[in-house]
């Protein structure tokens, strides 16, 4: 039997703080969501100036990354090239999930323990801010 590490609130706060720092440097108005491995919301913040829609999108991106254990940017690239059938995945999950750049899994010893989702800017900026958040976990 494997034992899986779990995200704690302090972990989530560190992830969000690292994301905030990156967003400040990039002058980005984004929403930041952290979910557990089942895609359940643990912590979400909408920065000043971020749209209400970005909050929902950040949660959906984080959920997709957690449930697949993969970057949502990679999934988006697949949809836009050779795997358009992946568009059906969001509907199968039974909860809002988005294969749009800005979602990254949080891995511990190769196991997905959750994910971060960022939304509100370009795919490149959302992804960069998410990567900063992942780095905040360690």
Each residue of 115-138: pLDDT tens digit?
999 999 999 999 999 999 999 997
Residue 104 is classified by DSSP as E
Biggest distance spanned by C-alpha atoms of the chain: 46
Give me the pLDDT at residue 16, please.
Answer: 98
Share of the chain above pLDDT 70, in %: 90
Give me the pLDDT at residue 97, please.
Answer: 73
Contact 83, 23 (CB under 8 A): no
* Average pLDDT taken over every residue of the chain: 90
Between 7 and 84, residue with greater pLDDT: 7
Confidence class for position 3, pLDDT limits 50, 70, 90: confident
Per the confidence metrics, is the pTM higher than 0.85? yes
């Amino acid at each position: 039997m494997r034992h899986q590490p779990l995200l704690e609130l302090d972990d989530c706060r560190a992830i969000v703080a690292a994301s905030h720092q990156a967003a400040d440097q990039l002058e980005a108005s984004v929403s930041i969501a952290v979910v557990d491995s089942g895609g359940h919301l643990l912590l979400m913040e909408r920065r000043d100036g971020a749209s209400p829609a970005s909050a929902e999108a950040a949660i959906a991106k984080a959920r997709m990354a957690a449930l697949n254990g993969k970057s949502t940017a990679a999934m988006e690239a697949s949809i836009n090239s050779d795997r358009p059938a992946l568009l059906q995945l969001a509907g199968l999950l039974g909860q809002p999930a988005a294969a749009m750049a800005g979602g990254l899994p949080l891995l511990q010893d190769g196991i997905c323990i959750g994910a971060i989702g960022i939304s509100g800017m370009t795919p490149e900026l959302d992804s960069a801010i998410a990567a900063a958040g992942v780095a905040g976990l360690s």
